[in-house]
Each structure stands twice: as structure tokens, then as C-alpha cells.
Structure 1
Amino acid sequence: MAGKSRKGGSSLWPMKASHALLMQGVALLIGGLVIAWFAQNAASNLARRSMQLDFGFLGSPAGFSMPFQILSFGPTDTYFMALVTAFANTLLVSAMGVVTSTVVGLGLGVMRLSQNWLLSTVSGAIVELVRNTPQLLQIVFWYVGVLQVLPQARQSLSFGDVAFLNIRGLFLPAPIGGSWSSLLLITFFLSLALAPLARRYLPLHPRRSSLLWLVPPVLLIALAFSLKGWSLPALKGFNFAGGMVLPPELVALWAGLSLYTAAFVAEIVRASVEAIGKGQVEAANSLGLSSWLTLRLVVLPQALRLMIPQLTNQYLNLIKSSSLGAAIAYPEIVQIFAGTVLNQSGRAIEVMVIVMGVFLIINLAASAALAQLNERVALKER
């Protein structure tokens, strides 16, 4: 009977597997039919208007300029260059938001775990206030309620006489590149993307593969030494000259995205730290480690394994929420391409397909990078 039951029990697995494959096939078929229906519907609507899908408009002159850009763009450039420039602006605010929200969220999360009543209460109040108010409302508040009431250039808020904040934006020192700076900068970003792939797919010795992580820091040091110096902002007349300026739209979007995401990061940090067994803390205390060393050397490294999957969702949400910059006229990809370019070209379907494709590429790349990090820190079964 036992043998029959084991045999009978084992025969259930192929049935379950075949049932799962059947359901997946049905789901794929339904999804394909839905996509085909939308495609046919779009094609018929375009044909009714004597139009067809055509991405050739990307080569036409844009005829407009952007108030802020990290790449060179002018009215004579093409719509494709407008897409690239707006894409770069989106990446800029997304990267700034990810870094800032991580640092601020980690600080708020640690404060919530503090035994100090004041620190814990203040952190909890900030987290609950930010989490329970709309993100768009916070971005508009930073833009209208904070940045638009700042003083003029002559009465700027000074930070060590190297950074200045006024109604026109945040003025910061700017590096003066040398002859090799541009090449080193491009190589540095390429190394960040290629080092994980090389470690994963090249048949290298473990010691040699670990040396690949030294390439980005070495390139960053070389980039620092290649700079000729720094350009500091200085007040001349009614405005600042020199340095670089972050416009109010960028600062407001950066602050809104960062603080909103930081509130969720703080809760992730708190929950992950509390999930670590108390025996770990007691063992660290028995070794004479202080509370700070226990947190930094024992608790946080273990909690990081629990944080990364949850942080991935928050980072992806932050990248997608950068499209809210259109509400305050920050020239990101939705405001420029799905707004100005769409209105000028009239290519609604093509523009929306491109914008969705761009966000899909950004999020898939970010998700893949964080998945690699999660795999690196995850516990390996022996």
C-alpha cells in the first residue's frame, strides 16, 4: 500500500505540471488576442484618417529649446535629439532621487529604531506624514510653497560660500574637465555596467573576477586627477556666474521624489532590522560591541538581504514617478516628448509607444542590476 501511495503520489506531479502549462498557454493566447485586437483597432483608426505608423518624424527639426538640459540641444536639432536629451534629464533626476532617498530613508529608519523617544517620534511623524499625502501634492508644495518664496539672487542663502540657493535655483561648483575627462567619464559608466556582466559570464578565476570591482573606483580616481579645477559660482550683477545651476523645477522634483520614497525606505529598513533575530544582537553585545558597531557590522549586513527585493520596487516606482515632473514643467521625457513633440508632430501612437518603451528599458535595466546585487548578497546553500 505504501508503495502504491508513493507511486500514486508521484504521478500527481506530472498532472499538476501539465495543468500549469495548459493554463500558461491559455493565458498567453488570451494576451496575444488582446494585443492583436488593440493593434488592429489602432491600424483601422489610422487608416480611417489616412495615416499609418511612421517613425520618420524623429529626423525632423524640433524647432524648440529646453529650459534645462545636461546635453546640448537647440531648435535646429531633431526630435530624436529631443528624445535623447529628455531621456538624459529623466535619468538625472531618477539617479539623484535613488541616492538621496536611500541615504535619507536609512537615516529615518535607524532613527525609528532608536531608544531615544524624541528621535523615534520625530522620525515616525515624518514617515507617516509623507507616506499618507499624495506625491504630486508634495512636489507642487516644494515648487510653489518653498522654492518660489526664496529670496532673489542678491539675498541668496549661502552654504559655505560655495553653494547658493535662491528663487532661480541651486548654484553649485562645477568641475572643469581636462583633455581626458570625457573619455574617463564614459569609461567609468561603461565599467559599472560591464563589470557585473564580465564577472557573471567570463570564465575567470574568483580572485581575478573580484579585481573587476576595482576598475570603477580606479577610473573615478583617474577622473578626479584629470580635472583642471573647479568653477565656483559668484554673484555678478543680478545673477550668479560660474559653476552650475540646478533649476527650481529640478530641485522640487528631486526633493518630492526623494522624500516620498525615503519614507517607504525607512519602513523597509525598520522592518528588515526588526526581522533579525535578537540572538544576533545579544551575541554582539556579549562580545563588547557598542550599539552603533552592532548595527553597522551585525544587523544591517543581514538586514540588507531582506531589503533589496523591497527596495527594488521603490526604486522602480521612483523612476516611473519622475513623469510627475510634467506638472511643474521639468523637461523630462513625458513633459517634452509626450507633450511638446506630440503636439507638434501629431504622432500620438508613435510617441506613446516610444515613451513606454523608454520607461520599459530603464526599469528593466534597473531591475536587472538590482537582481544581480540581490543574488550577490543572498545566502548561498551549501
Structure 2
Amino acid sequence: MTTMTDPPQASFRLSQLIYDTRYRSYTFQFIALILLVALMAYLGANLVTNLAEQGQNIAFGFLAEPSGYDINQRPIEYDSQSSHLRASLVGVLNTLIVAFLGCLTATILGVVAGVLRLSPNWLVRKLMAGYVEAFRNVPVLIWILIIFTIMTAVLPAPNAFRGDNASASMLFDAFAFTNRGVYTPAPIWGAGSLVVVLTFLASIFGMFYYRRYATKLLYDTGKLIPMGWPSLVILVVPSILMFFVMGQPISLDYPALKGFNFQGGLHIRGSLIALWFALAIYTGAFIAENVRAGIQAVSKGQTEAAASLGMRPNRIMNLVILPQALRVIIPPLISQYLNLTKNSSLAIAVGYMDVTGTLGGITLNQTGRAIECVLLLMIFYLTISLAISAVMNVYNKSIALKER
């Protein structure tokens, strides 16, 4: 029994899934999902059937077989008797190295060029405009080849550093720039070095925390405290103190010319340098335009108001303009990071063995497992792209305007 105050009980009808606006969008999305799953199942079944007719199947056992080829740039231990899985891991690490270095360098170049493009100095402004137009309108592959050719043709061979009549000399007796790459001192990690490294990482977080605290204090109270030298002290002093407290556990292995080449130290091959700088300079030109657009999106009244308070131009840019411009800069910046990471697959053009050169190149040709290799490549690039997007989206949400 119901009373007069009870709401009427409405019966649910299937027609509501189409005509009721509360459910219509979910209905169409569910239908689209079913059709997509059916299409993928059909394509998968068709693939398995065709492979079976040819006496083949999809298997990944080849990853455990010996690779039988060498890799010139090896961040981890590897030789020709290592497995294809190990070779693929080396390629993955090489891709991540050049992607990280490229994104970091491109960001610095892009921010500097983007700010200088709005400089009141006519010469500086035109130079930055020339850099942007020159690099973003020429394919990145051409820049990779140009930089690699310059390095191999202009820089001296290692034997030019030999003897008293050497035509080339090492920089600070520690760095050698040759047509085979750059030789630099390599760290030697002794007992207690991990403590020093952890201290340095903690100092980095401490520096950012201090700068964030100083900025918040300025916004909340108007009190301006120094940022430059305290940040430097926080970054450097604790690590130096811990270095001596732990008995100087980190030393350097310097490169030395022995025979026809340098031995010892860290060898950064010309292929890595060419790929790194070409990707960074090319992508930095696009980032510069994003930065310029973000700065111009901020009202000029913000600059005028800050200047009326007696703030210096550099502080106006750091504390007023850039924090607001980041809301415009970050979304397209994510796309530039993704493009740089995917463009690193051009590494094979200069002999840098990234994951496309190992798994998608030599391993694929030796084993004939094209479907498996391409599938693994797709999964890797999809995973790294989603990871970059996720991290940058978290940062983007942290700087977004908070609505009340």
C-alpha cells in the first residue's frame, strides 16, 4: 500500500535507452565498444587463421635465443651471445636516454628562445625568429644528418692528440672531442657513494621546496626573500659535506690515448650527440613558439601592475608572467615531448641503436618474427607515450586555475 506522499514508481522501459537523454550517450558508447571488440576479434581470428595456413604462429620464444650481433652504445652489459631480449632492453634504454636528454635540452632552448623572441632588442628578437623558422621548417632527419656529418668531418681523429706535435689537445686534460665522439671522465663509485647520491637528490628536492616556499611567502605576505644564493647553497653544500664525511667515495676515471684510440673514461658516441642535439634544437623551435604564445596570452595589465609595484623585469617574468603562461604552454608542450620521443626512431640513420634499430631492425630481420617485433614496438611506444602524458597531465592539473 502506498500513501499520497510517496513518489510515483516509474517503470523502466528499453525505449529509454534510445530516447531518454540520461541514457542515450551510454547506449551509443556501449554499442560502439561492442562493435570495436567484434572488429578486433575478427581481425585477430583472421590473422591466426592465415598464419596457421602457412604453418606459422605467434610466439615470443625467439627473445631467449642468442642475438648474434653487437651494439656500439651499451648502457648495460651486453655482447653478441646475449639474448634478443637483452638486445631489445639495450635498445629501450638507448631510446629512453636520448628522449630524456632531448626533452630536457629542448625545454631549456625553447623557453630561452621563446622569451627572447619577445625581447625589446631588435637584433636578439630577429635572431631568435631566424632560429625558429630555420629549424622548424626543415625535416628533423636532415638536421640529424647535418650535425652527424659535421662531427665526423670537422672534428679530429684520436691520433691527432698524440705526441708533442699533436694538432689537437684535450680540454682541461679531461675532455677529448673527436670524430668518433666525445670522451669525458667517468665516475668510479666506491663504498658510500650511494649516500652521496641520495644526499644530492634530497638537496634537489630541498632546493625546489625552498623556492616554492619563498614564492608562496611572497604571494601571501609580500615579503621577498633571496632565492638565488640560498638555492645554490642548498643544492651544493650538503652534497659536498657528505662527500668528505664519507671519505671521498666518488673518483674520476680520465680518458687517455692508448694505441689508436682513447681508453678509460666515458665515451659518448657521435651518433648519440647528433641525434640528441638535432632532436633538441628541432623540437626547441616548436616549444619556443608555444612559450611565446603563452606569454602573449597573459594580459599586458599584469606586467604593468607588477612594474608599478617596483618589480624588476626578470622577477616580473618569473613570478607573474610565466606562472600564468604555463597554463597555455603545458598542453602543447606534452605533444612536443611525445613527438620528440617518437622521432628518436630515426636514430638508425646515424647508426645509433635504439629500440627500433635492435628489436625492429636486426632482431626482426634475423628471426623473421615481424608481427611479434612490430607488436612489441607498438606496446613500448604506446607505454612511454602514455607515461609522459600522465606525468605532464598531473603537473598541468597542479597549475590549473582552481575554481571556487
Q: What TM-score comes out, normalization by structure 1 length?
A: 0.82
In the alignment, which of 369, 374, 381 is matched to residue 396 of structure 2?
A: 374
Q: Distance in 2 between matches of 1:374 and 1:30?
A: 34
Aligned with 1:75: secondary structure? coil
Deviations 1:251-288 (A, max 9, x none): 11101111111001100110001111111101110111
Correspondence for 1:114 among 99, 116, 119: 119
Gaps of 5+ in 2: 1-15, 161-166, 205-234
Question: What residue number does 1:329 align with?
Answer: 351
Alignment partner of 1:354: what SS? helix
The whole-number CA distance in structure 1 between the counterparts of 2:148 and 2:48 is: 41
Query: After alignment, is 288-297 or 89-98 more displaced?
Result: 288-297
Change (3 A) 1:141 1:340: same
Aligned AA (1:357):
I
Please tell me whether residue 356 in structure 1 is matched to residue 361 in structure 2.
no
Cα offset, 1:183, TM superposition: 8.9
Corresponding position: 1:344 with 2:356: no
Match of 2:44 in 1: 39
Which structure shows the bigger proportion of residues in helix conformation?
Answer: 1
User: What residue is the counterpart of 1:55 in the other structure?
Assistant: 60
Question: C-alpha displacement at 1:300, in angstroms?
Answer: 1.0
Matching of residues 242-321 of structure 1 within 5 Å: 242-321=264-343
1:315 and 1:184 mapped to 2: Cα distance?
Answer: 31
- Structure 1 Cα separation of the partners of residues 119 and 283 of structure 2: 21
* Structure 1 residues 347 and 375: CA distance shift in structure 2, 3 A: same
Paired-residue identity, %:
39
Q: Quote the offset at 1:244 in angstroms.
A: 0.6
| Separation of aligned partners in 2, 1:80 and 1:228 | 32
Change over 3 Å in CA distance of 1:159–1:106 after alignment to 2 = farther
Q: How does 1:57-206 map to 2 (within 5 A)?
A: 57-153=62-158, 154=160, 155-156=167-168, 158-181=170-193
Partners of 1:156 and 1:165 within 8 A in 2: no
Cα separation, 2, equivalents of 1:338 and 1:15: 50
- For the residue of structure 1 that corresponds to 2:59, the secondary structure is coil
**CA distance 1:324–1:348, shift in 2 (3 Å):** same
CA contact (8 A) 1:170 1:247 kept: yes
Cα distance, 1:24 vs structure 2: 2.2
- Give the letter aligned to residue 82 of structure 1: A
AA aligned to 2:358 is: I
Q: How many residues align?
A: 343
Aligned partner of residue 301 in structure 1, secondary structure: helix
Q: Give the CA deviation at 1:162.
A: 3.3
- SS of the aligned residue for 1:66 comes to coil
Counterpart of 1:175 in 2: which secondary structure?
strand
Q: Distance in 1 between matches of 2:114 and 2:305?
A: 23
- 8 A contact 1:157–1:166 mirrored in 2: no
**1:165 Cα offset (Å):** 1.6
Task: Please state whether the residue corresponding to 1:230 is helix, strand or coil.
Answer: strand
Q: Which whole-Å CA distance do the structure 2 matches of 1:85 and 1:369 have between them?
A: 24
- Following superposition, the deviation at residue 122 of structure 1 comes to 0.6
* C-alpha spacing 1:306/1:156, structure 2 compared with 1 (3 Å): farther
SS at match of 1:69: coil
1:358–1:164 distance in 2 versus 1, CA, 3 Å: same
1:331 is aligned with what amino acid? Answer: M
110 and 53 in structure 1: CA distance in 2 versus 1, 3 angstrom threshold: same
- Would the alpha carbon gap of residues 27 and 222 (structure 1) be closer, same or farther in structure 2, given more than 3 Å must change? farther
Structure 2 length normalisation: TM-score?
0.78
- 1:305 Cα shift? 2.2
SS of corresponding position for 2:176: strand
**Secondary structure of the corresponding residue to residue 403 of structure 2:** coil
* 1:208 corresponding residue in structure 2: none
Q: Secondary structure of 1:62's match?
A: coil
SS of residue paired to 2:76: coil
How far apart, in 2, do the equivalents of 1:149 and 1:41 lie?
54
- The letter for the 1-side match of 2:264 is G
> Would the aligned equivalents of 1:185 and 1:223 in 2 still touch at CA under 8 Å?
no
Does the aligned pair in 1 maintain the 2:188–2:252 contact within 8 Å? yes
8 A contact 1:184–1:223 mirrored in 2: no
1:83 touches 1:333 (CA, 8 Å); kept in 2? yes
Secondary structure in structure 2 of the residue aligned to 1:363:
helix
- Deviation of 1:373 after TM superposition, in Å, equals 1.1
Q: Aligned equivalents of 1:82 and 1:21: distance in 2? A: 45
